[in-house]
Structure 1
Amino acid sequence: MACARVPLDEQQVTERDALGKERSLPALHPDRKEERFFMPYVPLSEDPSPAEVEEFLERGRFILEDLEWLLTLPHDKFWCQVVFDTSLQKCLDSYVHHAPRGLDLAPVPLSPVAAESQRALHRAVFFAFLRMATHKESKESFITPAVFGEVLYENYLFDVPKMMDLCMLFGKGNAQLLHKMIENIFTQQPSYYRDLDDTVPTILEVFDTIEEKCGLHCDAAAAAQPMKLNARKQLTAISMTQQDFVDIVLYLCDTSSTLHAFLNVFPAACATFHSHSFLCRLTSFYESVVPDLEKALKKRNFDDKSLREDAWRRFSHSCRRMLETAHLLLHHTCLQPILEGVENMQTFAEELLQHFTSFLSEKRFLCDYDKLFPIAEDVSLLQQALPVIDETRTSYLLHGVHSAWDSMGRCKPQPTVSSSQLANHEIMCGASLSIGQDVREAEGGRESPKGAEAMLDAPRKGSNGATCPVSEAELESLLSCIRDLLPDLGEGFLIACLQEYGYDSEVVINNILEGQLAPGLDALDRGMPRPVKETLPGVLCSRSNVFDDDEFDVFRRDRVDMTRVWKGRRKGESVEELLNDKQHISEQRARYQAYQTVVDEVELQAEDMAGGAAGVSSSYGMGDQYDDEYDDTYDMNQVGANDLDGDSLLNRRPFTLPRVLQRANKADEAEDEEYQEEDQGLQRNMNRDQFIQDPALLRERVEAKRAAMQQRKGIRPERPSHVVGCPKGQGQTLDTFLDRRKKEANKGRGANHNRRNMADRKRNKGMIPS
């Protein structure tokens, strides 16, 4: 039996051979392996027959029983089986290679029995790999770390491509377990870092291959020679066969998804990719391939509509994964060290700005990246961490981002979310398709992995929402863009979808292809025609003014009293009689006589005093009762009415200065009096023999007066400027850097007259050689 507290690689066991003789063997020995055959995994086809489904279930049951038997073995037996059983490795490798990914879902969902078999098999495979990556299970069951690394590396139990596939299969929802697993493998066997370094050029060759197949990459030596007449013409994404085009899209989708999953689970690998200038190559690849493939998807005629939808879905997913991969590389190699506060933060900040500046030449990539991960927020975060960053350079960078949006003819969405929600944005090149996984399950107290049969995320509404209404021409352009891809849909249905998703055609196309429309849209008829415009009512029918329904309204009355309508002077009427008619004056005389009745004081009657009622000074008379809602502010206070100035306010209203001006004048008078008193006091204290006072003393007094006045008015004194700073070579303080940057930013307001901005503008247009 194995000895306690001894590593497995140092243990010796005693067993009997076939003849019954006892012999001592190492714990890891080929003779201790059990004879058992593990069947390889075979996936289910897209349109399986009942016989194929039955075969899939039976094969899955055999593999599941074998893996469960493997997981129940003790520590020494498990490693003997893993290291020396070749059929087990072939079984696990076949599942890693052929297991369905998130975008490989069949159009027809699996039956409940087949889906349950796939989930159970998926879980068992994950636990087998998890146990293989653990060198210490308990205090008694463990392997020496150095020996563990050699066992993994020499027996090819793990390699870099296999770890990438594991991240793709099990990464969603199990990122922490996978991170610990892969980190333990790289820690115990550093040779995997060398393998990873050799893998990056292979991935770059994938990009070159895709560009070459699309006719976008040309060898320099071949380009220097003239093309022969009998040479075969280079195929493009539009002219190649349909099968070749679909294969390129599948190849791109698989590469981008696997790479993003691996870097997301194991961020330490970002440094290796960064050392090969992978980010620069990724941006140039995106800029050249994505527009070409998108154009081909719109113009090609596919034999099967479902094939076109699947290609568009995979292409959109690939675009998003490439942008997220670029963000991971920037975050873990440049931005994360700055946030952690390392010593050489200035170097990382310079490198980050250098990458952003290099993006300015890649217009399409820059716009899509900025829509998904706004560059302005990263620059703002950088300025907060390092206030000494050159503001001219950052403003130039942000101006270049806006210029890229304008040059692409696209409107930059307004930021409506915080930086922690940046990953929820959509990109221009298609819908935001992120691969989800099924719900986490628990079994035996262990964390269960996600199933391979992932579900697509729910659709998102457009970023511009309902706050961006479009004109008639823009609506026709959006409808034309969608109908180029989906010609069988009616315009009425498409208009309803655009209204629901904020007139974002990419989101509408994606949700229609994925069948993820809102319930209200899903219930509509997809061939619904465009609604007919309602004819507006006539101007005469919709007129509305103050003369409606009067006796001369000819639009609503058939008969009008024409005796009351005449032109010029009425017959039988003289001008003298019309001028002598003063009836309107008599009617107004009684109204204006009421204003002459003014009562200054009202004597209270005895019965009014007993009842608690009070008379008021008003034009309503002395017998009126007191009204609670009546404003009696000025009734008891005769403001200015009884002044002994020879002319009563009741007879002639004198000129009254507004109250605001009176306050201001009083304040000014008080200040003037104060100053006069101070001046008089100073003059009294002056030496009469002194002909001229000391100018320094005068300036000190004036400064003291100004400071006292500012203190009374609550004015804060200006902070002293530190623009001059210390002498050259002695270093500058943070206040000096901030004041100089403020002066640099605001000097265009004075005599420079925006000279710096206009010079940058001329240089950008090529008018000034740089």
Structure 2
Amino acid sequence: MACARVPLDEQQVTEPGLLGREQTLPALHPARKEERCFVPYKSPPEDGSPAEVEEFLEHAKFITEDLEWLLALPHDKFWCQVVFDESLQRCLDSYLHQAPRGLDLASLPSSPAVAEMQRSIHRAVFLTFLRMATHKESKENFITPAVFGEIIYENFLFDIPKILDLCVLFGKGNSQLLHKMIENIFTQQPSYYSDLDETVPTVLQVFDTILNKCGIQCEGATAMEPMKLNAHKQPTAMTMSQQELADLILYLCDSTTTIHAFLDIFPAACTSFHSHGFLSRLTSFYETAVPDLEKAVRKRNFDDKSLQEDLWKRVSHSCRKMVEMTHLLLHHTCLQPILEGGENMLSYAEELLQHFTSFLPEKRFLSDYDEQFPIADDISLLQQALPVIDETRTSYLLQGVESAWDSVGRRKPQSQNQHKVTAAHQGAAGGAAAAAAAASSFRPQEGGAQERGRESPLGAEAMLDVPSKGNNGAVCPVSAAELESLLSCIRDLLPDLGEGFLLACLQEYNYNTELVINNILEDRLAPNLDKLDRAMPRPVKEELPDVLGVRSNVFDDDEFDIFRRDQVDMSRIWKGRRKGESARDMLNDKQHIAEQKSRYQAYETVVDEVVIEPGESAATYGLDDYDDEYDDTYDMNQVGANDLDGDSLLNRRPFTVPQVLRKGNKQEEEEGEDEEEEEAIPNNVNRDQFVQDPALLRERAEARRATMQQRRGFRPERPSNVVGQPKGQGQTTETFLDRRKKEANKSRTSNHNRRNMADRKRNKGMIPS
């Protein structure tokens, strides 16, 4: 019997031997293992024939019963079976390798019996791994932590590939339990961290392999290798076979989904990935490989349209996972330490800004990243946490983001997606109670995965989370050239659809081609689009009248009207002086006078009376014709005759001697800005006086000046009184103010500022000291 409060690795048990004698053995011993054969797992059949379905159900029933028997064993028996039974490990490994992932579930049959059996196996496998990762089930049943770490590490019960598969298979709906399990494994056995560091270069090799298969020159660690001689014969994504393209996209989708699930569930691994330059390699791969893969899926002719649809979903899913991986790495390695307010916040902020700056050349990746995780929000958090951040640098980054959106021909959505809040993880797992809680609260990932309200019968993961509708305004946000490019992109993939229908779809989904293609292929269009004819042609655009044809201008139809004349006399057009023409010739040219002479010759002769010769009548000169429109109202009246400015006057003005020739009076012109006043010379002044008295002239001028100032409301300045009262009798406020004003302004006149000027010259070295 097991001893109480003693770890399993130190316990001794007594059991009957072969000859009936009792023998004492360690609690963990191969002899205590039960003889039971665990069969490997096989995935559900794809075609769904009755014979294959029945075979799968029977095979899966054996696995479920064996795992339930294993979970019902006591603590010591369970660990003996786990450590020493190789068939159990082969069974568990086969499920991790063969179990359908999220995007594989759509191709599986929707039989309720198959789905229920798959959920049962999924649940039993998860509980088995969860119990294997727990070193303490209760106060009596536990293993020494150090020994537990050695057992799972030396017997390969867990390794990095297994942990990655566990995350991608059981992450959805069980992330907290899975986080506790993986955290306990890494805590009890730190050697897994070194294994993880060795695994990251292998993960990076995935990107290089895909680039090589696509015939693209690698960037990063392997970019310095010499090019192979047959590199020019390497097939590309457009030239490789459809099967090779499908395998390549499946490989990319599975890799990105697995890595993202691992980083999401176990954020402590972000440091290892970050230290190997994973971010730069990921963004470079995204910018280089994704456009080629998307182009190959869209442009190539597929015999099976469902295959083309599935590949497009996987490419889109891979892009989203790579963007989310980047966000996870930035959040846990840079943003999280800043938000926690620890030490070296400035260094973390600088590192984050450097990463954003390195994203600027990757236009496609930067726009996709900013669409899911707006960079402006992260910069706003930095500015709130660290007000000393350089605003010029942040403005440069934001302008680079806008430039990336413009360069890829997309319009930034008005409403950005809300950031996902990561739930707080709890502490380490705790024994059999944790396993029991897992059994009760377990939500199998395959059975509970949903995507936009559509249940997946077996799925372990949501396939593609896309918004159902865009937010498009009344005005088209893209130019005519960009709109034609979007239509061409969709018609290359879906040639049977009319342009009118595609225009309505683009307008509905904010001109997002990927969203339109996905919703059309999945038959998830909005209700108003389902009612439209899919072959609807493009509406005819009304042509506006030509602006030049309807314009009106004073220069229309002249000799220089280039809009209506094909030929213009260019000899009549020059700039500056004509070539070969001197200034003297130009001044001597009187041609314009000769041209105007004939015009004014008609006004030389004025005939007052017309003499009618004998034999001629007045009708000859048009004098007898009566004009009905002639107004003879004033013919008999002398209208204007009494006006003084008329040419013919009845009362002429009497002759007046000019003032210059007069000797009696003189008129003096008084100076003034608004008017001139005339006044006569006093009678007592000598008429022959040539120069008047200057004192009298000054008096008159002063009087005129006073009159003008009074008329304009001008107040004369108060006279300055700096003398004041005799000393000792006190001074008035006016005297005090006048003295201070004089003291402050005395350097403006005369040479009172000579000391200041001398000091200034001496300071400049002009006067030797």
Shift of 1:163: 0.4
Aligned pairs for 1:539-578 within 5 A:
none
Aligned to 1:722: none
Aligned to 1:276: 276
Shift of 1:413: 2.2
Aligned to 1:449: 444
Change (3 A) 1:146 1:205: same
Please state whether the residue corresponding to 2:233 is helix, strand or coil. Answer: coil
Shift of 1:20: 1.5
Change (3 A) 1:360 1:492: closer
Runs of 4+ in 1 over 6 A off after TM superposition: 219-222, 531-536
Aligned to 2:144: 144
Aligned to 1:530: 537
The answer to whether the 8 Å contact 1:377/1:419 transfers is: no
Aligned to 1:501: 509
Shift of 1:151: 0.4
Change (3 A) 1:137 1:522: farther
Equivalent position amino acid for 2:360 in 1: L
Change (3 A) 1:173 1:103: same
The answer to whether the 8 Å contact 1:149/1:189 transfers is: yes
The alignment status of 1:14 with 2:18, answered yes or no, reads: no
Please state whether the residue corresponding to 2:445 is helix, strand or coil. Answer: coil
Which structure 2 segments of 5+ residues have no match? 424-435, 447-457, 544-630, 633-729, 745-769
Aligned pairs for 1:474-623 within 5 A:
475-518=483-526, 521=529, 527-530=534-537
Equivalent position amino acid for 1:249 in 2: I
Q: Distance in 1 between matches of 2:444 and 2:472?
A: 37
Shift of 1:27: 0.8
Percent sequence identity is 67
Equivalent position amino acid for 1:9 in 2: D
Q: Distance in 2 between matches of 1:467 and 1:12?
A: 80
Shift of 1:273: 0.6
CA offset digits 1:219-272 (Å, max 9, x no partner)? 7677579x58xx861221111111111111111111111000000000000000
Q: Distance in 1 between matches of 2:528 and 2:143?
A: 60
Which structure 1 segments of 5+ residues have no match? 424-440, 537-574, 577-683, 699-770
Change (3 A) 1:309 1:195: same
Aligned to 1:47: 47
Comparing 448-457 with 303-312, greater Cα deviation is found at 448-457
The answer to whether the 8 Å contact 1:464/1:504 transfers is: no
The answer to whether the 8 Å contact 2:496/2:535 transfers is: no
Q: Distance in 2 between matches of 1:94 and 1:302?
A: 33
Aligned to 2:346: 346
The answer to whether the 8 Å contact 1:334/1:348 transfers is: yes
Q: Distance in 2 between matches of 1:174 and 1:345?
A: 33
Change (3 A) 1:92 1:420: closer
Shift of 1:194: 0.4
Aligned to 1:4: 4
Comparing 95-104 with 370-379, greater Cα deviation is found at 370-379
Equivalent position amino acid for 2:329 in 1: L
Q: Distance in 2 between matches of 1:200 and 1:534?
A: 56
Equivalent position amino acid for 2:494 in 1: L
Q: Distance in 2 between matches of 1:420 and 1:181?
A: 23
Equivalent position amino acid for 1:485 in 2: L
Change (3 A) 1:138 1:121: same
Q: Which structure's relative contact order is higher, taking Cα pairs within 8 Å and 6+ residues apart?
A: 2
Q: Distance in 1 between matches of 2:414 and 2:5?
A: 63
Please state whether the residue corresponding to 2:14 is helix, strand or coil. Answer: strand
Q: Distance in 2 between matches of 1:176 and 1:10?
A: 32
Shift of 1:524: 5.9
Shift of 1:400: 1.7
Equivalent position amino acid for 1:448 in 2: R
Shift of 1:18: 2.6
Shift of 1:690: 4.1
Q: Distance in 1 between matches of 2:112 and 2:528?
A: 29
The answer to whether the 8 Å contact 1:160/1:195 transfers is: yes
The alignment status of 1:372 with 2:372, answered yes or no, reads: yes
Aligned to 2:133: 133
Change (3 A) 1:449 1:365: same
The answer to whether the 8 Å contact 1:373/1:422 transfers is: no
Equivalent position amino acid for 1:529 in 2: M
Equivalent position amino acid for 1:508 in 2: V
Q: Distance in 2 between matches of 1:224 and 1:121?
A: 48
Shift of 1:519: 5.0
Aligned pairs for 1:67-216 within 5 A:
67-107=67-107, 109-216=109-216
Shift of 1:298: 2.0
Q: Distance in 2 between matches of 1:325 and 1:145?
A: 32
Q: Distance in 1 between matches of 2:195 and 2:183?
A: 15
Shift of 1:61: 0.7
The answer to whether the 8 Å contact 1:349/1:382 transfers is: yes
Aligned to 1:249: 249
Please state whether the residue corresponding to 1:28 is helix, strand or coil. Answer: coil
Equivalent position amino acid for 1:245 in 2: L
Please state whether the residue corresponding to 1:14 is helix, strand or coil. Answer: strand
Aligned to 1:303: 303
Q: Distance in 1 between matches of 2:269 and 2:227?
A: 38
Aligned pairs for 1:206-245 within 5 A:
206-217=206-217, 233-245=233-245
Please state whether the residue corresponding to 1:413 is helix, strand or coil. Answer: coil
Change (3 A) 1:686 1:121: farther
Equivalent position amino acid for 1:233 in 2: K
Aligned to 2:476: 469
Shift of 1:322: 0.5
Shift of 1:518: 3.7
Shift of 1:216: 0.7
Shift of 1:284: 0.9
The answer to whether the 8 Å contact 2:175/2:265 transfers is: yes
Aligned to 1:590: none
Q: Distance in 2 between matches of 1:283 and 1:686?
A: 84
Q: Distance in 2 between matches of 1:47 and 1:134?
A: 39
Change (3 A) 1:384 1:220: closer
The answer to whether the 8 Å contact 2:313/2:464 transfers is: no
Shift of 1:92: 0.5
Equivalent position amino acid for 2:249 in 1: V
Equivalent position amino acid for 2:36 in 1: R
Shift of 1:521: 4.4
Q: Distance in 2 between matches of 1:201 and 1:443?
A: 34
Please state whether the residue corresponding to 1:53 is helix, strand or coil. Answer: helix
Change (3 A) 1:516 1:139: farther
- How many residue pairs match? The answer is 536
Please state whether the residue corresponding to 2:142 is helix, strand or coil. Answer: coil
Shift of 1:276: 0.6
Equivalent position amino acid for 1:450 in 2: Q
Aligned pairs for 1:586-665 within 5 A:
none
The answer to whether the 8 Å contact 1:46/1:106 transfers is: no
Equivalent position amino acid for 1:445 in 2: S
Change (3 A) 1:419 1:49: closer
Aligned to 1:387: 387
| Superposed CA RMSD | 3.3
Q: Distance in 2 between matches of 1:444 and 1:419?
A: 32
Q: Distance in 2 between matches of 1:223 and 1:186?
A: 39
Aligned to 1:267: 267
TM-score, structure 1 as length reference: 0.65
Please state whether the residue corresponding to 1:105 is helix, strand or coil. Answer: helix
Q: Distance in 1 between matches of 2:392 and 2:364?
A: 24
Q: Distance in 2 between matches of 1:175 and 1:468?
A: 44
Change (3 A) 1:419 1:98: closer
Q: Distance in 1 between matches of 2:122 and 2:420?
A: 33
Aligned to 1:328: 328
Q: Distance in 2 between matches of 1:422 and 1:408?
A: 31
TM-score, structure 2 as length reference: 0.65
CA offset digits 1:363-385 (Å, max 9, x no partner)? 21111111111111111110110
